[in-house]
């Protein structure tokens, strides 16, 4: 009976070891793709699409949260310039094209009485140009937001090692045409080698 118990226990122990080793192998296989999938999951394409949909979303995806307030401060400032220039443009335009009538004898704003027609035309053109320039700068700021997200996404997995070194040391070279040795300096730059 003891022999049977030993055979059964050995058999059970063997099965337990086989099953546990298979589970460990399966877990390791599952972990390796997860790690590589994490690196693959951070794609520049996703960062681009997110930045195109909502400015700053690509930066959040890249975990560069400190850039989001800068992006929205830029949009806020550009929006303020566009709105204030549009307001001034409309004031100059209304004053320039105002013609007093019996039904409407009062000018639309104080610009009508303070500026000449040439000054009103110049002010209208200036603020119209500044308003349009604000829209162009807003579009460029939007593109900068997208480009920044793309570059950050490409550099997301880039590792910078602390093991960068630069050395200058004396060096002696022998040249076949010169009987004397040539003295000089040798510059050595050591860059880390990543095997990942």
Residue-range domain boundaries for the chain = 2-41, 47-154
**Which of 105-109, 150-154, 162-166 is least confident?**
162-166
Distances from the Cα of 105 to the Cα of 40, 90, 111, 120, angstroms: 70, 19, 15, 19
pTM (two decimals) = 0.60
**What's the pLDDT score for residue 184?**
80
Q: What is the rounded CA–CA span in Å between residue 13 and residue 91?
A: 91
What are the CB-based long-range contacts (under 8 Å, 24+) for 152-155? 152/47, 152/58, 152/59, 152/62, 152/64, 153/42, 153/43, 153/44, 153/46, 153/47, 153/48, 153/58, 153/61, 153/62, 154/44
**What's the pLDDT score for residue 1?**
46
127 Cβ partners below 8 Å, 6+ apart? 85, 86, 88, 89, 92
Average confidence (pLDDT) over 115-142: 94
Q: What is the rounded CA–CA span in Å between residue 117 and residue 130?
A: 20
Can you tell me whether residue 79 is helix, strand or coil? Answer: helix
Q: What is the rounded CA–CA span in Å between residue 161 and residue 2?
A: 62
**What's the pLDDT score for residue 130?**
95
Largest CA distance in the chain: 123
Average confidence (pLDDT) over 119-147: 95
**What's the pLDDT score for residue 7?**
56
Q: What is the rounded CA–CA span in Å between residue 38 and residue 50?
A: 18
């Amino acid at each position: 009976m003891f022999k049977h118990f030993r055979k059964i226990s050995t058999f059970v122990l063997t099965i337990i070891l086989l099953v546990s080793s298979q589970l460990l192998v399966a877990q390791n296989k599952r972990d390796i793709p997860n790690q590589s999938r994490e690196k693959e999951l951070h794609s520049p394409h996703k960062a681009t699409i997110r930045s195109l949909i909502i400015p700053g979303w690509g930066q959040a995806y890249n975990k560069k949260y400190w850039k989001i307030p800068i992006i929205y401060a830029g949009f806020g400032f550009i929006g303020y310039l566009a709105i204030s220039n549009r307001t001034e443009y409309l004031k100059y335009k209304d004053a320039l094209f105002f013609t007093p009538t019996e039904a409407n004898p009062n000018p639309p704003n104080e610009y009508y009485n303070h500026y000449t027609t040439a000054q009103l035309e110049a002010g209208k053109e200036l603020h119209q140009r500044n308003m349009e320039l604000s829209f162009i700068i807003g579009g460029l700021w939007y593109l900068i937001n997208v480009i920044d997200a793309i570059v950050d996404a490409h550099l997301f997995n880039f590792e910078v090692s602390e093991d960068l070194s630069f050395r200058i040391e004396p060096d002696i070279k022998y040249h076949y045409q010169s009987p004397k040795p040539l003295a000089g300096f040798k510059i050595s730059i050591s860059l880390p080698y990543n095997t990942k």
